Amino acid sequence: MMLAKFFLLLAVVWTFEVNAAISSFLEEMIKMNPPMNIRISSGSFGEYTVSWDGNCTFQDNVYYQLDYKYLNPSDSKSYSYFVQEYQKKMDLELHRGLFTQVKLGYFGDTDDEISSNWTERTFDLPRDSFASVDNLTCIFYGNTYMNCTWDINENAPENEQYILSYRKEQTSDMYNCTNYRMSGARNTGCVGHKYDIDLSYEIIICISELNNKTKLPYCRKVKPYYFHKLNNPINVRINKSTDEVTWNLPEVNFGPSCYKYQLNITNWNDKEDQKVKNTSVAKYVISRDKTKRYSVQVRALVNDICLESTIWSDWSKPLIIAPDVKDISFLTIAAVFAVILVVLTLLLVLICIKCKLVSKVFQPIPDAGETFKGLFEECNGDFQKWINKNP
């Protein structure tokens, strides 16, 4: 029994010594072989290869760690890769400038980090190394079509033409825009282009100069779902007994819990009384003064439960809500009928009175022939003759 314990202890000591020796060897090998001479080379649209020199025999858990981030002060996000080779192909927005650092390290189950020193390099190419455009932005309308626009720099050649291409990240299949918007003779947008790649795939979109192949393309890495714009809601209606507004989306690509909505409620009797309300379901009970006129519009967005978007749909057509018509009671009807009857009676009285006054004012003209028959029958209207005959 004692002999077995002795051999067990010997095995533990031996294992510890061997592991210590291996650890010492790895630490010396790693620290003595930091990466050197970081460089970058361009490949297909937006693809670049970051490479370096090294002298390392790769083993389990021994990797090069490559970190990079863009030089934009407003974007400090850092990206990391672990590779067992001397290069890494990446899709980059190189026009933003790039800071890179590489180190060799043992990334195993040891508590102590074993790594070489970082080797760093910054790539900040002149702006005129890239296609002379800026502000490339795209909006995706489901898996149907996309619209992209860009600005042309002031120093861009007047006869230069621009083309848009895109591909899924880390693939080589390229797609080209089929329908351009032009300003003068130059393309400034890609509109109504059929887009049928799943929105969850990250893509890289590049603008290239057609006549200048020496310039690098101006590229952006885009998550299409982040710029996904829904069609505006339809069939907006209200139940006036409950004041519940409901609506529909023309296309539903996700579950009902994947959307959020906003309602723009406007009181037309007081234009300053305008409210925007949020809801996660396709219905909302509004609060209103039923004696006033309102309009309601709705817009939609994919929420962060599914594939979060940053672009709201357009507002729906306004739903006009007229003031409610009050029910007329029996007493009100009777009162109105009595008033009408009184008014009609007064009108009849006035008509009768008016007829008597007319008869008095416009008396019939007396017939002189009846009163003075001799004047007309015997003297033929000769007044002097009639006087002499009847002194």
- The sheet with strand 180-183 has its strands ordered as 133-141, 145-152, 186-194, 180-183
Per-domain boundaries in the chain: 30-125, 129-227, 234-321
Per-residue confidence (pLDDT) for residue 12, from 0 to 100: 38
188 in Cβ contact with 136 (< 8 Å): no
Indicate the pTM of the whole model.
Answer: 0.71
Give the pLDDT confidence score for residue 185 in this predicted structure: 87
Q: CB of 89 within 8 A of CB of 49?
A: yes
Q: Can you give the pLDDT at residue 357?
A: 56
Query: Superfamily for 129-227?
Result: Immunoglobulins (2.60.40.10)
- The residue behind tokens 């309300």 is 277
pLDDT at 112: 67
**pLDDT on residue 74:** 77
* Cβ atoms of 228 and 199 closer than 8 Å: yes
Tell me, what's the pLDDT at 294?
Answer: 92
Distances (CA, A) of 355 to 348, 360, 361: 11, 9, 10
Q: What is the pLDDT of residue 17?
A: 41
Domains 30-125 and 129-227 share a fold: yes
Q: How far apart are CA 206 and CA 162, in angstroms?
A: 10
Collapsed DSSP state (helix, strand, coil) of residue 20: helix
CB under 8 Å to 44, separation ≥6 — which residues?
167, 172, 174
pLDDT of residue 8: 47
In tens digits, the chain (391 residues) has pLDDT values of 554 444 444 343 334 343 444 456 567 777 778 899 999 999 888 999 999 998 877 777 888 899 999 998 777 889 999 998 999 999 999 999 999 999 988 877 656 678 888 999 999 999 899 999 999 999 999 778 999 999 999 888 888 999 999 999 888 889 999 999 998 889 999 999 999 898 989 999 999 999 888 899 999 999 999 999 999 999 999 999 999 999 999 887 788 899 999 999 999 888 677 889 999 999 999 999 888 999 999 999 999 888 889 999 999 999 999 988 765 566 777 888 888 888 888 888 888 777 665 555 555 666 555 556 565 666 665 666 657 666 5
CATH topology of domain 234-321: Immunoglobulin-like (2.60.40)
CATH classification number, 30-125, choose in 1.10.10.10, 1.25.40.10, 3.40.630.30, 2.60.40.10: 2.60.40.10
At 299 the three-state DSSP class reads: strand
